[in-house]
Chain A
Amino acid sequence: MSAKINNDVVTEKDTLVKISNVKKYFPVKGGILRRPINFVKAVDDVSFTVQKGETLGVVGESGCGKSTLGRVVLNLLPSTSGHIHFKDEEITDKSTRQMRPLRKEMQMIFQDPFSSLNTKMSVRELIEEPLIVQSNFSKEERREKVEHMVEKVGLRIADLVKYPHEFSGGQRQRISIARALILEPSFIVCDEPVSALDMSIQAQVLNLMKDLQEEFNLTYLFISHDLNVVNHMSDRVAVMYLGRIVEIASNESIYEDPLHPYSQILLQSIPTVSEENQDKATLSGELPSPLDPPSGCAFRTRCPFAHDLCKEVRPELREIKEGHYAACHLYNEDNEKAFTKQGEIE
């Protein structure tokens, strides 16, 4: 284990996953020699912990690096630098073979239930496959487990002989969930698990995921662009912008009192069913290119509060209220608002 890690919470009893200063840069190759000429900083210096049994939500717009983060956490994509710990064990530099025994413990559910299931395998084969690869159960034991699991996710035993094309999107997502859960993992990365589903089906799948979490004491890293869904599912929420976490706090804290201007605008942007029409602050411009992110604070080009300091110094993630971290110069040493919107007098 590296001695450089600044605190020792790794060994804390109820921490399941801890990542520290993780970076994932994708090289952009060019020129005759195909040398890397630039890097896309998909994940740039991200640290957090996930406690046993909790759901950590990750929200952000497309291109902010949230899906890359999910894959890096599972070591499906090797990180460029930083440390990833799973259950007190550092997995950062483990090879695919070394990772194999750990894979039982960590699984992933993907967004698109139409492309993540092999169309040539029956539901039974799909759900059984992880057991064959990972365990020594006898045929009979495997059958029992598969039949038990298929009912747990709300399908029928009769469905086991069917193929994925015979199911709707919501049912396919149930198959994916069964496949992920059959090895009884403790940690699941859910990458936009309900984005492809219809409204009424989305609610069914979210309920199922919550029930299963309770029953199997699962820990989720829940990645989504939909703030309503993340709010419903998570205990804590991390907001990402251009590869960095700009704010992380408990669910209640972040939705009631978002500190970072980006989180504030993101929250206001969601169309909601409400009787009064609220005034909304529209965010001007679009996400800057991750190849050429702005200097200082990455959000400053779209931030209504941006001033000179934001251009020069990159704000670090700091605890501003208890358990509520934000990376913004808006808050001074005493963690009060240091200044207001340009041209505004308060």
Chain B
Amino acid sequence: MAQKEVLRVEDLKTHFFLGENKVAKAVDGVSFSVHEGETVALVGESGSGKSMTALSIMQLINKPGRIVNGNIFVEGNSLVDMSEKEMVKVRGNDVAMIFQEPMTALNPVFTIGNQLVEMIRKHKKVSKKTASKRAIELLDIVGISRSKAIMQEYPHQLSGGMRQRVMIAIAISCDPKVLIADEPTTALDVTIQLQILDLLDTLKKKLNMAILLITHDLGVVSEYADRVMVMYGGQIIETSETKEVLFDTRHPYTEGLLNSLPRMDQKSDRLEAISGTTPPAFAFPQGCRFAPRCPYATEECTVENPPLVEVEEGHATRCILHMEGGKLHVSKD
């Protein structure tokens, strides 16, 4: 892949200071990069820090949280050092974001046309007429057939799928380099989900965007992502190309997630559930954060949190058992 790197996150730490010396380490040392025309999935359960990573990139972290360490580069420009004024220009122009619930992301008292035109004119010095023309064009691009009529309608008149299409139209209105999609289809029905994911895939190719797809659904990851990063306890615990992570898994957590999915092609009476629950971000266990729930955990695991180490080309894991000489590594070969 000789594509240009458009987003780079370096050792990002976003902590929330909850008082009484309680610090929630929502994002705790995350590094990755995303290239043009690539879909990278960030997968994890609730509380794993995947949404916080996205909000950190957008510089939308509110008190009591703040980015305490690390850097974020979009096309080489550091976002962390930017003033709020400069960030306003970056949001939408360079990095755009779509959310899970499109109803709460759209303003209910303005028409769709109104909101699209406002967005375009905020970022580009164009007349109302040109902006409105562009808005209709955008609605066509996202596959809304009655684009002219929709301009006059209000969000509540649209179905969930249509609203998400409008959100995507707004997001791509200024040709962003990076599109962050935070659970874009979780609130939608399965047939509509497919339509939206296909649309995102088509737009990515057409506009040569980079997509950071945040999801909890490994099926979606398998079908739409080029690379995947699995998050647990505020950290990336495994990353590689999608097929590598899903079919040559190198972390017990990823393995556990895959096993806990009910699957139609592998009928079994019981699911192999991961025992226990995710630890809260202010009380991570000593050592490996997954160790208390890990079926392979040894005493060694509770001593030190393992670093993210490349065990094969492009395939990194945060598990000592999979590292050189580790038991699982040996038994797998």
Shortest distance in angstroms between A140's beta carbon and chain B's nearest beta carbon? 33
Name B273's contact: one of A204, A266, A267, A282 (CB within 8 Å). A204
Cβ–Cβ < 8 Å partners of B219 in chain A? 270-273
Those of B34-92 within 8 Å (CB) of chain A: 45-46
CB distance from B288 to the nearest CB of A (A): 16
Decide if B262 touches A198 in the complex (CB within 8 Å).
Answer: no
Docked CA distance A265–B243 (Å): 25
**Which A residues are in CB contact (< 8 Å) with B247?**
275
User: Do A270 and B271 touch across chains, with their CB atoms under 8 A apart?
Assistant: no
Is B2 interfacial (CB-CB < 8 Å)? no
Interface size class of B (residues with CB under 8 A): 35 or more
**Cβ-based interface call for B298 (8 A):** no
Interface stretch, picked from B4-12, B93-101, B191-199, B306-314, is B191-199
Q: Does the CB pair B262–A232 fall under 8 Å?
A: yes
With beta carbons under 8 angstroms apart, the residue of A200, A232, A277, A283 that contacts B191 is A283
Q: Does B106 contact A (CB under 8 A)?
A: no
Give the residue among A203, A204, A233, A274 with the most B Cβ atoms within 10 A: A203
- Interface extent on A, as a size class? 35 or more
- The residue on B at minimum CB distance from A274 is B222
| Cross-chain contact A272 with B263 (CB below 8 angstroms) | yes
Query: Is the CB–CB distance between A198 and B278 below 8 Å?
Result: yes
**A280-B194 contact given A199-B261, A231-B262, CB 8 Å threshold:** yes
Listed in ascending order, the chain B residues whose CB lies under 8 Å from chain A are 45-46, 159, 161-162, 189-195, 197-198, 216-224, 243, 246-247, 256-265, 267, 269-275, 277-278
**A228, B271: Cβ atoms closer than 8 Å:** no
| A203 interface neighbour in B193, B224, B274, Cβ under 8 Å | B274
- Answer whether A168 and B277 are a contact pair too, CB < 8 Å, given A273-B222, A273-B261: yes
Q: In the complex, what residue of chain A is closest to B246 when comparing beta carbons? A: A273
Q: In the assembly, what is the distance between CA of A168 and CA of B279, in Å?
A: 11
Cβ–Cβ < 8 Å partners of A171 in chain B: 277
- Cα distance, A202 to B272, chains bound together (Å): 11
Give chain B residues whose Cβ lies under 8 Å from the Cβ of A275: 243, 247
When distances are taken between beta carbons in the complex, the residues of chain A under 8 Å from B265 are: 272, 274
Provide a sorted-by-A list of 28 A–B residue pairs whose CB atoms are within 8 angstroms.
Answer: A61-B191, A61-B192, A62-B189, A168-B277, A170-B277, A198-B45, A198-B46, A199-B218, A200-B273, A200-B278, A203-B260, A210-B270, A228-B261, A232-B262, A269-B190, A269-B191, A269-B193, A271-B194, A271-B217, A271-B219, A271-B224, A272-B219, A272-B223, A273-B221, A273-B258, A274-B265, A282-B195, A286-B192
